[in-house]
Amino acid sequence: MNMMNLINLAKKNKNSKKCPFGAHAKENWYERDNFVTPLQLDCEDRFKFDDFGKVQATNHQDTAAQITIEKLVLNHQRLIDLRKAAIDEAIFPIDIELDASDIQKIANGLYSQKNEEGKFRQFCLAIEQVARQLI
């Protein structure tokens, strides 16, 4: 088996733009006890999103969640803007007014259902958390 393809994929492309948040932002940083990953069962419960698109640790004493937000730059303005746009589109649409039952459906997991490609909608967790805050 030719492993050169895998090695080449792992090398950074000098022409690619570095993303200012996420894995690119954290670079080589990793501290097991101070990093919350999507593989952890309580991952979703450790972060709280507001209707402005910002994220914070659900528990202010959760150092790992706070450090993860900081190291991954999860409150980068671009991410905040994208989250807010998704929340506004789902919960505060311009063309219709949602009633309490619509908000309840969103809060109960409407947006965290996978699409036909098996993917979640972008920012589904943030959208559903904000809907739960409105009930």
Question: Is 8 within the bounds of a domain?
Answer: no
Question: Is 9 within the bounds of a domain?
Answer: no
Comparing CA positions, the residue from 133, 43, 20, 21 lying closest to residue 87 is: 133
Question: Is 13 within the bounds of a domain?
Answer: no
Question: Is 6 within the bounds of a domain?
Answer: no
**47: domain range?**
19-134
What's the mean pLDDT when you consider all of the chain?
89
Question: Is 113 within the bounds of a domain?
Answer: yes
Question: Is 53 within the bounds of a domain?
Answer: yes
Pairing relation of β-strands 55-57 and 47-49? antiparallel
0.85 cut: is pTM over it? no
Question: Is 129 within the bounds of a domain?
Answer: yes
Count up the domains in the chain and report the number: 1
* Structure-token pair, residue 13: 């492309």
Name the band, by pLDDT with cuts 50, 70 and 90, for residue 18.
confident
The sign of the CA dihedral 16, 78, 20, 117 is negative
